[in-house]
Structure 1
Amino acid sequence: MENQIIAQEHWSENGVRIPVCKGMWLVTDSLPISVTHLFIGHSASDILCFCHYYPNWVNSPCLSAFVSLGLLPTKEQFTWLKSLFTNAKIHTVFDGGISGRVADCKVATWQIGKSARFSLAGDHGEFYYNKKKYRIPVNIFSLSRFEKLSGIRSGIRTHKPKAPFETFYQSFTNVG
């Protein structure tokens, strides 16, 4: 643990503070080779609340793993997870806001061994993929629209909280 900085997620009555870090929070009760579903999100609290709403992903016979990557997930984190959980279908549990929708798209590109660059320009999300620039209005930006424009078919499954909540934590605490 030499030269390591430990980042912690902080919970309070005002919400959750999610760290920006290179580390991760990982939970499974199975051997990595036997895990068939890998759930990736920004926040441990969001993943725990997701599990509250969807306990079928925790109970056998589902062999699942859950991981929080912090606010800015990296390709290196994902590549390590993909090499560890070689038989797992990828699911994302990022928030419903633009940061979560962009994270879905990043994971989709990493899933196929590529990368894309994302930015905000006014009320549009821009992304650069395969030497082309694309623009999507923020209010309709989604993994589905990203995949249609870019031609990517990643096979990942996204899970979002029901409106009006942006996070599963907000839904669980009923604070929107």
Structure 2
Amino acid sequence: MWTEVDGFRYYIPSDLPEVAIKHAYLFYEKRDVPFKLIDKNISSDNAIAIVLLGICPDMETILVIAGLFFNARFKTGFGKDLPARVLTCRVSLWLENTDALFLLVSTRIHFCYRSKAFSCPVEMFSLSRFCRISGFRTNLNIFL
């Protein structure tokens, strides 16, 4: 059963309490979630939560989710396109209660983090590249 809280929905296949969740998977919507995560008979890990953020999540929503699943490691399943890669970076920043500005100019993505400007070719941009360039450290993993 899906639970709706402050603009997002979540589901815990094993019906464990939120405090027992070890992995929280973040997706845009339900159709993006692999079946193996939803079915508790197939899922290899019982201590998971599936969180649906909607198409345009914000920092406040992510902070509420981080507070709800405070023992969990977060994994994103947004995809591999540029908006998904930028959102993954923003979610990783929001989980640490910070933010950055991202701009697409021609074939480069420019971002400003901690009053410093950085740039990267669009085809090379990823969470890993963002962390290497900016010095940001994250515990967020990419699921898809």
TM-score of the superposition, structure 2-length normalised?
Answer: 0.85
What is the CA distance between 1:113 and its match in structure 2? 2.1
Instruction: Tell me how far apart the structure 2 counterparts of residues 97 and 157 of structure 1 sit (CA, whole Å).
Output: 16
Q: Which residue of 2 aligns with 1:136?
A: 120
8 Å contact kept, 1:37–1:62? no
Instruction: Tell me how far apart the structure 2 counterparts of residues 142 and 68 of structure 1 sit (CA, whole Å).
Output: 22
Listed as ranges, the gaps of 5+ residues in structure 2 are: 1-5
State the SS of the aligned residue for 1:108.
Answer: helix
Of all paired residues, the percent bearing the same amino acid is 29
Instruction: Tell me how far apart the structure 2 counterparts of residues 126 and 153 of structure 1 sit (CA, whole Å).
Output: 19
Match of 2:141 among 141, 144, 157: 157
Q: Which residue of 2 aligns with 1:32?
A: 18
Listed as ranges, the gaps of 5+ residues in structure 1 are: 1-21, 161-176
Q: 1:61 to 1:44 in 2, by over 3 A?
A: closer
TM-score of the superposition, structure 1-length normalised?
Answer: 0.71
State the SS of the aligned residue for 1:66.
Answer: strand
What is the CA distance between 1:110 and its match in structure 2? 1.4
8 Å contact kept, 2:36–2:43? no
1:59 pairs with 2:55: no
- Structure 1: 4+ residue segments shifted above 6 A: 53-56
Q: Which residue identity lines up with residue 40 of structure 1 in the other structure?
A: L
User: C-alpha root-mean-square deviation of aligned residues, in Å?
Assistant: 2.1
1:126 pairs with 2:115: no
Matched residue count: 136
Instruction: Tell me how far apart the structure 2 counterparts of residues 84 and 36 of structure 1 sit (CA, whole Å).
Output: 12
What is the CA distance between 1:27 and its match in structure 2? 0.9
Instruction: Tell me how far apart the structure 1 counterparts of residues 119 and 30 of structure 2 sit (CA, whole Å).
Output: 31
Match of 1:43 among 29, 42, 52: 29
